[in-house]
Amino acid sequence: MKRGWIVASVAFLALFLFAIWQSRSLPFLDDLGPGPGFFPVWLAGLGAILSVLLVIESVRTIPDTPGESLWPDRPAMFRILSVIIVLCAAAALLDILGWRLTAFGVAVLLLPALGVRSPLTIVPFALAAGFGVFHVFYYWLKVPLPVGTFGI
């Protein structure tokens, strides 16, 4: 398990360093304050620092089990693949279905895959994720979100 944590932490470090490198081409500040490169640089920098700390923590504390596989077990692999598949489907369907239906569907599909079984938890969360977030961003914050072909 120790190798898995170290490999994952180094992969995240590489991802964060790539994000810093890419967002340095954006203006850090503009006339109104923080520019489009401000938050990506700071968030990726924070992620890189946390990745380094996780590598150090993994090397120092997690005992190494000889012969242990680098791959996750079956239930963990199911959760990982569920998240990847649902996010890819959401990206493909966002313009067609719009934010509300896509976010609702993502929540309804991912929560059971991640272990939530109660409909009394899933339904309110999915409604809040789909319709509540849309209402806050679209009407209150005036951030344009995709409405979709159905107008929902």
Question: In this structure, what token pair is assigned to residue 18?
Answer: 């790539």
Q: How far apart are the first and last CA of the chain?
A: 45
User: Residue 36 and residue 30: Cα distance in Å, rounded?
Assistant: 8
Task: Kindly indicate the confidence band of residue 3, based on its pLDDT and cuts at 50, 70 and 90.
Answer: confident
Would the pLDDT of 60 be above 80?
yes
Question: In this structure, what token pair is assigned to residue 89?
Answer: 């489907």
Question: In this structure, what token pair is assigned to residue 28?
Answer: 């850090």
Mean pLDDT of 65-84: 84
Nearest alpha carbon to residue 23 among 12, 11, 34: 34
The answer to whether residues 129 and 111 touch, using CB atoms and an 8 Å cutoff, is no
Neighbours of 113 (CB within 10 A): 15
Q: Between 58 and 99, whose confidence is greater?
A: 99
Predicted TM-score (pTM) of the model is 0.68
Handedness of CA 131, 137, 138, 140 (dihedral sign): positive
Nearest alpha carbon to residue 152 among 120, 130, 125: 130
Task: Kindly indicate the confidence band of residue 96, based on its pLDDT and cuts at 50, 70 and 90.
Answer: very high
User: Residue 83 and residue 29: Cα distance in Å, rounded?
Assistant: 35
